[in-house]
A and B are shown apart, each in its own frame.
Chain A
Amino acid sequence: MSIATFLQVAANGLLLGGLYAAIAAGFSLVWGVLNIVNMLHGSVVVLGSYGAFFAWQRLGLNPFAAAVVIGPCVGVLGWFIQRFVIGRVISAPVLITLVMTFALDLVLNNGMLLAFTADYRKINGATGLAPLRIGTVVLPADRLIATVLAIAGTYTVHIYLHHSRLGRAIVAVRMDKETARLMGVKVERVYAITFALGLTMAGMAGCYLAVVYPISPLASGGYLGIAFTACVLGGLGSVIGAIAGGLLLGLVESFGALAIGSEYSLTVASTILILMLLVRPQGLVGRAGYE
């Protein structure tokens, strides 16, 4: 492999990885704080993509700008879901919460299939900027902006968690929910807000993805798989871990596709995931539950 190819493949991997990080961050936050695996996550990402698509098609809005509005709208939906559906089974065994979020996913995904059909839609040339060239490496402008925004947005959440009152409360619940309750944190409210925040991040990730990938309800399963893998790679519940895991997954996929063909990309990712679960379940970054 020449140096030029190596650099290009690495750049592709990082561009991909930034988007993966954005998909995984909200998922990881919800898992860490509420101790539920949100099977609904992939469909919410797709919902965000549709929001961006229709804002672009009907209102002529740029997807990157639309994300600021669409994300919080999806988040409000998440608040209601947590408050009235998931909240009722939140202390049940793992199997029950898994099946519950899976059922919600069936409803949302089938609803989208009905409303938007399975046809692939695409936003072409969101910005119309020329690709950026650094030496021999070519970086498509839309992808680059999407990735940079995705990582910046995710990092903002990390800062927010550490430097705001509510953010500290969320981190406190993640570390020890009973003690947090004793300290006067309203755990149920933190749950609902965290779920809303997680879905906001998923919706915004969906807006960025709409610029790069075709949009269809059928894509949700793949996004969920990416969220799983990046989250486990990086470490549960940690936003920085999700960024690390996402970037790493992007690189692995990029180089894996070069080495053994892109048709096995999911197999490579899944195998790494299972190995990772067995060898280092707390992820690459830090201890479980802490940041």
Chain B
Amino acid sequence: MTSLRDVLMPGRVLFVGGILILLVPLIPHGETYAMRLATQCALLAILAISWNLVGGLTGYPSFATAAFFGLGAYVGGVLQQMGLPWAIALLAAACAAALLAAPFGFTILRLRGHYFAIASLMLIAILREVTTGWASLTGGGMGLNVPGAASDPETTARFALQSMLGLSAVALASSAFVAKSWVGFGLSCIRMNETAAAGAGIDAALLKTLAFTLSSGLAGAAGAIYASWIGYIDPSDVYDVMWSVRPIVAVLIGGLGTVFGPVIGTLVYIALEEVLWRNILTFGTGALGLLIIALLFFLPSGILPSLRRRYRPA
């Protein structure tokens, strides 16, 4: 049952997130590398937490993260280029992603296993082609220049880091809230046995769609922040399937379906990425592949569940 600790958890997460945001201005001038790394970390954490809602909690192997990330980046980018303020562009991007995700999710969440995975993967290809084809609005394959939140790069970078931190706190808090609420309970039932869950009176279609919509809205918002942080987006960059795969790997490292697993996994993943394949640039993605294979061989359930098993024997 819901304990007081569970109720307080989202609040604590937001509090810590707020403190981190307030600490950002204290980062000394010129620490570009550290800020870039921190922003990347927060970005991957958002995507990992968002993916975990569908892939971990509900057990549906979605590859659609990149689709909603890219959509958010383009909605945010185009609106900002039209001169709309940054905050409205961000909100619109989240809403656009959620608005597409609700009917699309409702439709394809009827599929199971490989079929769901493929349908979600195809959405990336569709959105990429539509974005490339609609050149009058999006700039097509030439890409799109996105005006940043501020004129100088340093302020933009700080602002991007703060927004990413804020959004990851919101994502983590809502994920903690969902996981402990009746929605999370229903999603876990669906993961274990969907037919039985439906038989016990759980509205599986509604809950799955809810999780998918929330997850996609977060990915869309992250895309919009990414667009104004990077300043230039093109379809092959933001609709890259790696935006779907990296969060999955981060969650697998941390622990599938756990609340804090995605965050821990993200930290480990980014550290590995920096240490390992900054030095072997030409074989970067290949090294990532080898890392994933090793991970699935030697740590199949992820860090958090493995630790729990070790220190809390059932």
CB pair B130 A267 closer than 8 Å = yes
Query: Which of B68-76, B223-231, B279-287 contacts the other chain?
Result: B279-287
A26 to B77, CA, bound (A): 42
Residue from B114, B119, B126, B248 within 8 A of A99 (CB atoms): B248
A278-B114 CB under 8 A given contacts A110-B283, A114-B283 = no
Measured between beta carbons, the chain B residues less than 8 angstroms from A213 are none
Chain B, residue nearest A278 (CB):
B107
Query: Which residue of B108, B113, B123, B293 contacts A104 across the interface (Cβ within 8 Å)?
Result: B293
A155 smallest CB distance to B (angstroms): 26
Which of A99, A106, A221, A228 is close to B286, meaning CB atoms less than 8 Å apart?
A106
Q: How many residues of chain A have a CB within 8 Å of chain B?
A: 39
Chain A, range 232-272, C-beta contacts under 8 Å to B: 232, 263-264, 266-267, 270-271
Are B133 and A99 in touch, CB under 8 angstroms?
A: no
The answer to whether A85 touches B293, judged by C-beta atoms less than 8 angstroms apart, is yes
**Contacting residues, chain B, for A102 (C-beta < 8 A):** 245, 289, 292
Taking each of A94, A109, A228, A281, which has the highest tally of chain B beta carbons within 10 Å of its own beta carbon? A94
**What 0/1 pattern do residues 217 to 233 of A give for CB contact below 8 A with B?**
00001000100100010
Inter-subunit contact B133/A92 (CB<8 Å): no
Question: Which chain A positions have C-beta within 8 A of B290?
Answer: 103, 107
Instruction: Tell me which of B61, B110, B125, B296 contacts A89 (CB under 8 A).
Output: B296
From residue A236, how far is it (CB to closest CB) to chain B in Å?
9
A107-143 contact mask (Cβ, 8 Å, vs B): 1 or 0: 1011100100000000000000000000000000000
B280-311 Cβ-contact flags toward A at 8 Å (1 or 0): 00111110111111001100100000000000
Residues from chain A with a CB closer than 8 A to the CB of B121 are 228
For the complex, give the distance between the alpha carbons of A218 and B290 in Å.
Answer: 20
Contact flag A103-B117 (CB < 8 Å), given A273-B122, A277-B111: no
Q: Which residue of B108, B113, B114, B288 contacts A106 across the interface (Cβ within 8 Å)? A: B288
Q: Which residues on the A side are within 8 Å of B115 (C-beta)?
A: 232, 277, 281
Q: Is the CB of B118 within 8 A of A232?
A: yes
Residue of B119, B133, B293 near A277 (CB, 8 A) is B119
How far apart sit A249 and B114, CA to CA, in the bound complex (Å)?
A: 20
Asked if A37 contacts B114 (CB within 8 A), the reply is yes
Contact assessment for B132 and A263 in the assembled complex, using a CB-CB cutoff below 8 Å = yes
A93 to B59, CA, bound (A): 9
**Residues of chain B with a CB closer than 8 A to A104's CB:** 289, 293
* Secondary structure of the B contact surface, majority rule: helix
Closest Cβ neighbor of A270 among chain B residues: B122
Residues of B close to A271: CB separation below 8 A: 126
- Check A98 for interface membership: any CB of B closer than 8 A: yes
Partner of A107 from the list B117, B241, B249, B289 (CB cut-off 8 Å) is B289
In the complex with contacts A271-B126, A277-B118, A100-B282 CB distance below 8 A:
no
Does the CB pair A110–B285 fall under 8 Å?
yes
Contact residues in B for A277 (Cβ distance below 8 Å)? 108, 111, 115, 118-119
Q: Assess A274 versus B285: contact at CB under 8 Å? Given A37-B114, A98-B114, A102-B245.
A: no
Q: Mark A25-54, 1 if CB is under 8 A from B, else 0.
A: 000000100010100000000000000000
B252, A99: Cβ atoms closer than 8 Å = yes
**A37-B118, A100-B293 are known contacts. Are A95 and B55 too (CB-CB below 8 A)?**
yes
Q: Report how far A267 CA is from B121 CA in the complex, Å.
A: 12
When distances are taken between beta carbons in the complex, the residues of chain B under 8 Å from A4 are none
Q: Which residue from chain A places its CB closest to the CB of B291 in the assembled complex?
A: A103
A120, chain B: closest CB distance, angstroms: 17
Contact status of A92 and B300, CB under 8 A, knowing A263-B132, A264-B129, A267-B126 = yes
18 CB contacts below 8 A, A to B, read: A37-B114, A37-B118, A94-B117, A95-B55, A98-B61, A99-B249, A99-B252, A104-B289, A106-B289, A106-B292, A110-B284, A263-B132, A270-B123, A274-B122, A274-B123, A277-B111, A277-B119, A278-B107
- Nearest 3 CB-CB pairs, A to B? A106-B289, A110-B286, A103-B292
**Hey, which bits of chain B sit against chain A, CB under 8 A?**
55, 59, 61, 107-108, 110-111, 113-115, 117-119, 121-123, 125-126, 129-130, 132-133, 241, 245, 248-249, 252, 282-286, 288-293, 296-297, 300
Besides A221-B241, A228-B122, A277-B111, 8 new A-B residue pairs in contact (Cβ under 8 A), listed by A number? A95-B248, A99-B296, A100-B292, A263-B133, A267-B126, A271-B126, A274-B123, A277-B119
Interface residues of A (CB under 8 A from B): 31, 35, 37, 85, 88-89, 92-96, 98-100, 102-107, 109-111, 114, 221, 225, 228, 232, 263-264, 266-267, 270-271, 273-274, 277-278, 281
